[in-house]
Amino acid sequence: MIVKKLNELSSEDLKVLLSREIGIQDVLQRVNDIVMDVAENGDEALRKYTEQFDGVRLESFRVSEDEIEEAYDAVDESILSALELAAQNIYAFHDEERTKDLWLYQVAPGVVAGQKVVPLESVGAYVPGGRAAYPSSALMCVIPAKVAGVERVVVCTPPDVSGRIAPLTLAAADIAGADEIYKLGGAQAIAAMALGTESIERVEKIVGPGNVYVTAAKMLVRGSVEIDFPAGPSEVLIVADSSADPEFIAADMIAQAEHDPSSIAVVVTTSEPLMRAVETEISSQIEKAERRDIVQASLERCGILLAESLDDALAFSNAFAPEHLELMVRDPMDALNMVRNAGSVFLGHYTPVAAGDYATGTNHVLPTAGYAKIFSGLNIDAFTKKISIQSMTGEGLESLADAIIKMAESEGLRAHAESVRIRMRR
């Protein structure tokens, strides 16, 4: 772990902290082979890769109604209640994001312009498996699509060696409103949703987190289908002053680190005593961590940094562009004014990342590896398209005719100009 003053970071330190490579280049050729195989051989390629990577050969990939009912029976009622509460909050939050389905305004007398918002017809949601079940990701990907009005939402998630999906994930996908659920993971799932096979109809857009193979596949199929954004290992940056509790900070860093050995957690503080206290607290708490090996591997790449001022800390945060940003400072709203780059922001001492991961209603599918500089997290706009509209009377066209004709002719497009003149002659 890097424990230093912010202004003493070496170029190597900065490379570790700021250059969070997703690693796509290392797997690109292998993933391209899988995508091309699925394009050529369809379901048979899916069976081959599911057997190779998941250890089970499936004749049918679609989850049946009986399997969904069995999943509900296998999940404790208290957990189902938690999923339903989270689903309600996620629905409510994304419903608030909705804009007008249609708006018009008068540009000038006789000239009206506006916009129509239309949902996509079909969306694919990738829900990871692997190290753990991620029912929350099913909620986060499916619910906003349904709020937006998407008619067909497809979920793909990897099966276990018995050919089943984790009951929690399956129940969550159903609660969220998924229309089709498939036992299919990895790059082959992305290829199937993007290109279509005998049993899986293609979709218009693919969203959801995944490992480097999934991310590489999403990047490769982007010419055939739209995607949300590239995503890498999860990360948190915590900006803290002397009012912060080192126990809270250490807990949040360890929580982030338990995702994956490649996850990253960084705290930037203006208090040297807090910096030392956090280091001590991490050493204490890590001994109790259930996924200690993963946490320890992750924390080797993490950092506790001392900034001379809150302005310096927030400047570093904007350069880092974290997936999750916690502001554990006396006046988090004031600090928020300086935030330009972050996937999701958590204000105050009692707002851990885990709250947004599960139950506040905000979306946890977020850009990582610095992509928060140019991408938003998953939101209602990801599932809609916007169509511009205009309407003109004869009077309205006359008021703009001279400008239109001059601009069209300046570009050498005389037929454009004539399409206006012919109306003016009437």
Please say if 259 is a catalytic residue. no
Token pair recorded at residue 247: 């126990």
User: Element (H or E) spanning 111, and its range?
Assistant: strand 111-119
Give the angle subtended at the CA of 3 by the CAs of 349 and 369, to the nearest 5°: 70
Specify which residues 239 forms β-bridges with: 268, 327
Q: Which of 94, 259, 324, 364 is catalytic?
A: 324
Give the Cα separation of 9 and 3 in Å (integer).
9
**Residue in 48, 70, 83, 77 with CA at minimum distance from that of residue 164:** 70
CA–CA distance, 189 with 218 (Å, rounded to integer): 10
Give 264's strand partners. Answer: 235
| Residue bearing tokens 């940003």 | 325
The angle at the Cα of 80, spanning 75 to 85, to the nearest 5 degrees, equals 165
Q: What are phi and psi of 116, to 5 degrees?
A: -115, 130
Distance CA 171, CA 165 (A): 10
Dihedral sign (CA 202, 205, 211, 217):
positive
The runs of H, that is alpha helices, within 321-370 are 332-336, 353-358
Let me know if 198 is a catalytic residue. Answer: no
Report the alpha-carbon distance of residue 303 to residue 300 in Å, rounded: 8
> DSSP string covering 43-78, please?
HHHHHHHHHHHHS---S--BPPHHHHHHHHHHS-HH
Rounded Cα distance, 1 and 199, in Å: 48
Q: Of 281, 323, 349, 364, which one is the catalytic site residue? A: 323
Contacts of residue 296, Cβ cutoff 8 Å, sequence gap at least 6: 286
Residue 232 carries which side chain, given as an amino acid letter? G
DSSP string, 71-108: HHHHS-HHHHHHHHHHHHHHHHHHHHH---SEEEEEEE
Type and span of the H or E element at 310: helix 310-320
Distance CA 13, CA 349 (A): 28
Residues serving a catalytic function are 323-324
